[in-house]
Amino acid sequence: MSAKDMERAEAQARAQLNSILEDMKELYGFEEQDEDDEADAKREEILEGGALSAEIRSDWMPVGGDPMGWTYRLLLCWGGPSVQLTGELDEHFQPISAVVQYQDWFTGWADLPMEEEEQEAAVEWASLFYWGE
């Protein structure tokens, strides 16, 4: 795998993160009187087209064990390159962290460096999806 291919994959990850940031700015930028209709429409747009798949998983744990340890994954694009948003869920199945990862053919997942503001926006964006009870 060439460095150029990984640069292309990282650029795709950055483009996906920028799209998430724009979604959140738009969602929270509506005027109060417009909030209901326009915000609902934006949320629906994100849920219908923001991710190719939404998945959760956990490791084996003893009966009665702590439900923490669940993780989520939103696959944003796949192929060469692929990008996903992944993180941990709390006991109420709400995202509490977010990491944008990218890969290209025959490479492992790499984390995209993010500023704190970007991480917070990504967690809020992931919170729009339904993760369980």
pLDDT tens-place string over residues 49-99: 889 888 988 766 666 666 567 899 999 999 889 999 999 998 888 999 999
**Would the CA dihedral through 83, 50, 20, 114 be positive or negative?**
negative
Is residue 132 one of the residues assigned to a domain?
A: no
Is residue 38 one of the residues assigned to a domain?
A: yes
Tokens coding 116:
């704190």
Is residue 10 one of the residues assigned to a domain?
A: yes
Per-residue pLDDT, 127: 93
Is residue 46 one of the residues assigned to a domain?
A: yes
**β strands within the chain, DSSP E:** 53-57, 71-77, 82-88, 99-103, 110-111
Is residue 133 one of the residues assigned to a domain?
A: no
Is residue 20 one of the residues assigned to a domain?
A: yes
Is residue 119 one of the residues assigned to a domain?
A: yes
Total domain count, the chain = 1
> Domain limits at 7?
3-59+68-127
Q: Say if CB 72 and CB 95 are below 8 A apart.
A: yes
